[in-house]
């Protein structure tokens, strides 16, 4: 309290300083008059200054003085100011923009005290054992058995659903959760109530929902939303709550809607709803727990593993072959399993490195500009030094100018960053096939303080150096000597050259890495997917969004295939639940039926529910066996499956799979635990671009499982144009049912190009090239600035040489040669950096070597050309020097 009161008093002295100083003066005058020997009273001016020191504002006086002076000086050179601010604002802007995204997606905690929250999952004991979730009964046992280490344990299962009905329907994420779910994350609803324990229980079927805060604000933040009805896959749910504003789900992207686990069956399409949640083998839930405050993660792991062993003994049918493990939860996966902190750290470093390099180049450029400008001001600095301005005082003055520029650049940069953030997010959206809740990417104070503070610091550092350099030389000598000081000035030219070399090498680094990503994007586009890409169309539909139930949905799927087959120009058509090269896939553990150690023998395979002609539509022949028959597409038929060559060889090495039986070891849905006869062997196709290894596939006919979200795949005749066929297909669907939303309609090639894998390469190429381009621009400005400065300082020399008969071309050549030399050094360093960076990034690249000659030759050429162009103009100016003017000028 005393400190606050003292500060307020100090403020009083600041506000009424005129009066206070006057009082001090009068008081001292009186004192002097009273003294016997008034002369003994010292210098009142200095005494007052010392007395004022007690008020604690002298530093501010200096600052105000410096700022005023800086403002006056800067006002006289608008060109310099604009260049400096633009350069720095660009650097600061891209940093804040990128940091906003990185902070929102990678760094900001998603919930309260995240260190205490850990996830629990099952892992197979076999060497390459898969990861799976936890069943509800196992979760209950786990919760009971670990009360000593967890203060709370919750479970959830997240998946895609259709929200709404008719035209407004869209696909989004929904989580079925236990009643204590929000409590574990330290959240209570912003409006309404959390779920009750009754609602969580299997079979409760109390259809209530909590919506996300962003879902609520997108609908006008109307408190009346509570109590309204929401359709999830057509089933009506009553909204009972709105989640807290700062909780957008436990992972990114988060769900728009949460429902109690007991009501989830209302919109999932399983045949025995109550059985699924209640059965011990439905190992699908993600479990998270909050550690008690004094419990370490190791003791929690021990407790969890103990329960896991007990469960394996008590229920070997479902739990043998698996142990329970703990791990920090994943930030980006809503599936059960461990997170990867290392991945987040690497991604953060990688994403922040680019703008940081741009800022570094901007700072080098600023140092360059300040240095060149300082030379122009040598005379002024010399006068001030000779009048008693100390080195520190002069440095502080120059520093203030730097800070003033940085502050202005910070404001401009902040505005730029809003745009940069928007651009980054816009480039992200098209890849994600659904409307997702991303955490709100507003500037929180961390972004502001972090980015602006960091930028100010950086620019301060880079203006201290030139300032110190400039005020350092015995400034007084500058007053006496003015012209013809080439030798002494060379030192600072060398510094200028070093700065340019730095800029050039960093630009090479960014451009070369951009080139590597570009090459990746090109080779990804040219990659062989294992099937025929041309003349293929994909149409993604979700009849659930139009309110179709299972019976109508099944009919619609078959009817649509028939209608498409009848369209002239369509050679083959099929329907499937998943598509190669899509961001989200579904997989199952498949094992030979009837073996004792099924868990251990299981192979993870992509699971696809398909109609007839799947292989034909991809332009592939069946390797063995037959396609599905029409009867097998209807429910109740004999369970059959087609496996691909790869799965067949893994399950029955060296033996034919045809006619044998497979079983689905765990997982959800009606096929769980069911055995199926293998009737055909399909060729292997790749499922993702980033993973060149083919992945096993298992195909089951439509009859075995119903899903409302399906994709039609069409192979069209060679004489048809893609565009015309896309229009026809869309018309046929509209004629079938106007309300049926078309989620996706594009050619196979476009689908591949807009997939997540391709996007990574293209985003890498775009972002690195953009950052590289900005750095290149800054480097060119740097080269130009230094060359211009050198030429202007040597006007006299050039004048003399022209007067004595030097050929203008010789001068041009000399200036260009010097420019070329520093560029070449910068290129050399930059290429070494680029090769090192390429090695580091190898894992992110596709089909490109870090030493790709195209990149390593093309990038330096671009830079060399730009740099020569930048030194060309000053060089030309050198040749046009008029000897008479030049000699008279100094």
Partner 1 sequence: MPRDAGLPPGTLMMLVLRVLVRQPLHGYAIAQRIRQLSADELSVEEGSLYPALQKLLVKGWVKATWRESDSGRQVREYRLTASGKQQLEAEIAEYRRMTGAIDVLLKEA
Shortest distance, CB of residue 66 to partner 1, whole angstroms?
A: 25
Q: In the chain, what is the straight-line distance between the N-terminal and C-terminal CA atoms, in Å?
A: 65
- Min separation Cβ 14 and partner 1, Å: 11
Q: Does 222 bind partner 1 (CB under 8 A)?
A: no
Q: Indicate whether 9 belongs to the interface with partner 1 (CB under 8 A).
A: yes
Query: Residue 508 Cβ, how far from partner 1 at the closest point, in Å?
Result: 58
- Total residues binding partner 1 (CB under 8 A): 27
Q: Which stretch binds partner 1 (CB under 8 A): 18-26, 380-388, 630-638, 700-708?
A: 18-26
**Pairing relationship of beta strands 191-192 and 675-682 according to DSSP bridges:** unpaired
The window from 2-10, 167-175, 180-188, 383-391 that contacts partner 1 (CB under 8 A) reads 2-10
- How many C-beta atoms surround the C-beta of residue 484 within 10 A? 11
Residues 409-438 that bind partner 1 (CB under 8 A): none
Query: Measured from the CB of residue 60, what is the shortest distance to partner 1 in angstroms?
Result: 15
Closest distance to partner 1 from the beta carbon of 29 (Å):
10
Question: What DSSP line would sit under 666-695, residue for residue?
Answer: S-SSTTBT-EEEEEEEEPP----SS--S--
Cβ closest to partner 1, residue 29 vs residue 167: 29
Question: What is the b/e burial string over 584-603, where b = at least 16 CB atoms within 10 angstroms of the residue's CB?
Answer: eeebbbbbbbeeeebbbbbb
Query: Minimum distance from CB of 390 to partner 1 (Å)?
Result: 21
By CB under 8 A, the residues from 29 to 48 that bind partner 1 are 30-31, 33-35, 41-42, 47-48
Do 287 and 155 meet the contact criterion of CB atoms below 8 Å apart? yes
Query: Could you tell me which residues are beta bridge partners of residue 122?
Result: 132, 324
| CB of residue 65 to partner 1, shortest distance in Å | 21
Among 5, 18, 75, 480, binds partner 1 (CB under 8 A): 5
The interface region with partner 1, picked from 8-16, 69-77, 410-418, 815-823 by CB under 8 A, is 8-16
Binding of partner 1 by 28 (CB under 8 A): yes
DSSP 294-318: T--HHHHHHHHHHHHHHHHHH-HHH
Q: How far is the CB of 2 from partner 1 (least distance, A)?
A: 8
Least Cβ distance, residue 15 to partner 1 (angstroms) = 14
How far apart CA 347 and CA 696 sit, in angstroms, is: 29
The CB-side HSE value for 601 (13 A sphere, CA atoms) comes to 20
Shortest Cβ distance from residue 59 to partner 1 (Å)? Answer: 15
Residues 46-85 that bind partner 1 (CB under 8 A): 47-48, 50-56
Other CB atoms within a 10 A radius of the CB of residue 726 amount to 18
3-state secondary structure (DSSP) of residue 248: coil
Q: Which is nearer to partner 1, 22 or 222 (CB)?
A: 22
Centroid of chain to Cα 49: 55
Among 10, 170, 292, 749, binds partner 1 (CB under 8 A): 10
- How far apart CA 593 and CA 608 sit, in angstroms, is 19
Which of positions 750-809 make contact with partner 1 (CB under 8 A)? none
Q: Does 342 bind partner 1 (CB under 8 A)?
A: no
- C-beta of 41 vs 160, nearer to partner 1: 41
Q: CB–CB of 366/86 below 8 Å?
A: no
| Cα atoms in the 13 Å half-sphere on the side-chain side of 548 | 24
Residue 704: which residues within 8 A CB-CB, separation 6 or more? 609, 635, 639, 641, 670, 671, 674, 676
Closer residue to partner 1, CB minimum distance, 42 or 472: 42
**Contact of 345 with 331, CB cutoff 8 Å:** no
Stretch that binds partner 1, among 25-33, 266-274, 351-359, 808-816 (CB under 8 A): 25-33
* Residue in the structure block whose two tokens are 């018309």: 731
Query: Which residue number, 22 or 638, has a Cβ lying nearer to partner 1?
Result: 22
Closer residue to partner 1, CB minimum distance, 24 or 190? 24
Least separation in angstroms between residue 8's CB and partner 1 is 10
Q: Using CB under 8 A, which of the segments 21-29, 180-188, 634-642, 694-702 binds partner 1?
A: 21-29
Write out the binding residues for partner 1, residues 184-203 only, by CB under 8 A.
Answer: none
Q: Which stretch binds partner 1 (CB under 8 A): 28-36, 476-484, 544-552, 734-742?
A: 28-36
Query: Min. distance of Cβ 254 from partner 1 in angstroms?
Result: 53
96 contact partners, CB below 8 Å, separation of at least 6: 413, 414, 416, 417, 420, 443, 447, 451, 452, 455
Those residues whose C-beta lies under 8 Å from the C-beta of residue 483, and which sit 6 or more positions away, are 796, 890
Rounded to whole angstroms, the Cα distance separating 306 from 325 reads 10
Residues that bind partner 1 (CB under 8 A): 2, 5-6, 9-10, 13, 23-24, 26-28, 30-31, 33-35, 41-42, 47-48, 50-56
């Amino acid at each position: 309290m005393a400190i606050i009161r003292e500060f307020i008093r100090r403020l009083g002295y600041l506000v009424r300083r005129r009066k206070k100083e006057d009082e001090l003066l009068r008081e001292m005058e009186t004192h002097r008059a009273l003294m016997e020997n008034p002369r003994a009273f010292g210098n009142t001016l200095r005494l007052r200054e010392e007395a004022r020191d007690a008020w604690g504002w002298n530093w501010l006086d200096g600052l105000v003085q410096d700022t005023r002076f800086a403002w006056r000086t800067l006002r006289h050179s608008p060109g310099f100011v604009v260049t400096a601010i633009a350069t720095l604002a660009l650097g600061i802007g891209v940093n804040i923009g990128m940091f906003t995204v990185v902070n929102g997606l990678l760094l900001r905690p998603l919930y309260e005290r995240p260190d205490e929250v850990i996830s629990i999952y099952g892992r197979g004991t076999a060497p390459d054992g898969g990861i799976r979730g936890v069943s509800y009964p196992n979760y209950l046992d786990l919760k009971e058995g670990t009360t000593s280490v967890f203060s709370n344990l919750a479970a959830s299962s997240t998946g895609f659903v259709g929200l709404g009905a008719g035209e407004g329907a869209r696909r989004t994420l929904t989580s079925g959760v236990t009643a204590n779910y929000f409590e574990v994350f330290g959240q209570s609803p912003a409006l309404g109530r959390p779920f009750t324990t009754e609602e969580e229980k299997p079979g409760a079927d109390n259809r209530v929902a909590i919506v996300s805060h962003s879902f609520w604000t997108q609908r006008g933040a109307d408190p009346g939303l509570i109590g309204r009805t929401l359709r999830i896959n057509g089933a009506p749910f009553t909204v009972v709550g709105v989640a807290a504003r700062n909780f957008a789900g436990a992972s990114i992207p988060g769900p728009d809607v949460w429902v109690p686990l007991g009501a989830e069956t209302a919109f999932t399409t399983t045949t025995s709803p109550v059985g699924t949640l209640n059965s011990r083998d439905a190992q699908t839930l993600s479990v998270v727990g909050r550690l008690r405050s004094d419990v370490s993660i190791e003791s929690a792991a021990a407790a969890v593993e103990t329960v896991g062993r007990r469960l394996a003994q008590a229920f070997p049918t479902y739990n043998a072959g698996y142990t329970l493990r703990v791990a920090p939860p994943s930030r980006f996966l809503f599936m059960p399993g461990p997170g990867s902190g290392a991945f987040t750290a690497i991604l953060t470093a990688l994403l922040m490195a680019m703008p940081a390099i741009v800022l570094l180049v901007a700072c080098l450029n600023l140092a360059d500009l300040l240095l060149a400008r300082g030379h122009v001001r040598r005379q002024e600095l010399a006068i001030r030094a000779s009048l008693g301005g100390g080195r520190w005082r002069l440095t502080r003055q120059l520093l203030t100018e730097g800070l003033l520029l940085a502050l202005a650049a910070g404001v401009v940069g902040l505005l730029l960053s809003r745009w940069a953030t928007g651009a980054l997010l816009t480039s992200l959206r098209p890849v994600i096939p659904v409307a997702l809740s991303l955490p709100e990417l507003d500037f929180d104070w961390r972004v502001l303080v972090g980015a602006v503070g960091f930028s100010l610091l950086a620019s301060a550092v880079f203006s201290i150096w030139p300032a110190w350099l400039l005020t350092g030389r015995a400034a007084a000598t500058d007053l006496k000597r003015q012209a013809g000081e080439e030798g002494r000035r060379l030192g600072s030219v060398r510094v200028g050259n070093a700065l340019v070399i730095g800029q050039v090498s960093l630009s090479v680094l960014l451009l070369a890495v951009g080139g590597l990503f570009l090459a990746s994007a090109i080779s990804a586009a040219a990659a062989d997917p294992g099937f025929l890409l041309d003349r293929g169309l994909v149409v993604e539909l979700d009849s659930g969004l139009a309110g179709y139930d299972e019976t109508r949905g099944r009919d619609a799927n078959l009817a649509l295939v028939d209608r498409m087959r009848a369209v002239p120009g369509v050679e083959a058509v099929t329907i499937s639940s998943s598509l190669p090269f899509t961001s989200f896939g579904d997989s199952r553990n498949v094992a030979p039926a009837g073996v004792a150690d099924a868990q251990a023998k299981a192979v993870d395979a992509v699971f696809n529910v398909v109609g007839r002609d799947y292989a034909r539509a991809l332009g592939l022949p069946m390797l063995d066996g037959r396609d599905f028959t029409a009867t097998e597409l209807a429910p109740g038929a004999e369970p059959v499956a087609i496996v691909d060559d790869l799965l067949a060889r893994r399950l029955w090495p060296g033996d034919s799979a045809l006619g044998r039986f497979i079983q689905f070891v765990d997982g959800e849905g009606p096929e769980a635990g069911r055995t199926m006869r293998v009737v055909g062997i399909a060729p292997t196709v790749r499922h993702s671009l980033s993973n060149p290894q083919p992945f096993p596939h298992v195909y089951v006919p439509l009859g075995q499982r119903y899903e409302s979200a399906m994709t039609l795949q069409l192979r069209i005749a060679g004489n048809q144009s893609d565009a015309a066929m896309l229009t026809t297909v869309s018309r046929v669907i509209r004629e079938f049912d106007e309300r049926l939303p078309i989620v996706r309609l594009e050619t196979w090639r476009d689908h591949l190009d807009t997939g997540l894998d391709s996007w990574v390469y293209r985003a890498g190429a775009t972002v690195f090239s953009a950052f590289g381009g900005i750095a290149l621009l800054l480097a060119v400005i740097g080269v130009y600035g230094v060359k211009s400065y050198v030429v202007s300082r040597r006007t006299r020399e050039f004048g003399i040489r022209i007067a004595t008969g030097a050929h203008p071309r010789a001068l041009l050549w000399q200036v260009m040669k010097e420019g070329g030399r520093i560029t070449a050094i910068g290129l050399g360093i930059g290429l070494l950096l680029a090769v090192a960076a390429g090695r580091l990034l190898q894992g992110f690249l596709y089909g490109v070597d870090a030493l790709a000659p195209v990149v390593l030759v093309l990038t330096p050429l671009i830079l060399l050309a730009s740099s020569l162009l930048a030194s060309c103009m000053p060089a030309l100016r050198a040749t046009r020097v008029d000897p008479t003017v030049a000699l008279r000028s100094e």
